[in-house]
Amino acid sequence: MANHPAPVLITGASRGIGEATARLFAQKGHSVALLARSAAAIEGLANEIGGLAIPCDVADEPAVRQAVHKSATEFGEIGIIINNAGTLEPAARILDTDPKDWARNIEVNLFGPLYVLRHAVPLLPKGGVVINVSSGAAANPLVGWSAYCASKAGLSILTRVLAIEESDARGIRVYGLLPGVVDTEMQVFNRANRMNEVGDLKREVLRPPTEPAQIMYFLCTPQAADLNGQIINARDGVVRARAGVPVLGDAD
The pLDDT assigned to 248 comes to 78
- Whether the pLDDT of residue 172 is over 70: the answer is yes
pLDDT-based confidence at residue 167 (cuts at 50, 70, 90)? confident
Q: Which domains does the chain have, with CATH numbers?
A: 8-182+210-243 (3.40.50.720)
Active-site residue flag, 148: yes
Q: Looking at 115, 148, 175, 217, which residue is catalytic?
A: 148
> Tens digit of pLDDT for each residue in 8-56?
999 999 999 999 999 999 999 999 999 999 999 999 999 999 999 999 9
Average pLDDT along the chain:
91
Lowest-pLDDT range of 132-141, 153-162, 199-208: 199-208
CB within 8 Å of 39: residues ≥ 6 apart: 53, 55
Please check whether residue 245 is in contact with residue 214, taking contact to mean a CB–CB distance below 8 angstroms: yes
CA dihedral 38, 108, 145, 178 (to 10 degrees): -90
> Tens digit of pLDDT for each residue in 103-119?
999 999 999 999 999 99
The pLDDT assigned to 53 comes to 98
Please check whether residue 22 is in contact with residue 32, taking contact to mean a CB–CB distance below 8 angstroms: yes
- Whether the pLDDT of residue 2 is over 90: the answer is no
Question: Which has more confidence, 132 or 202?
Answer: 132
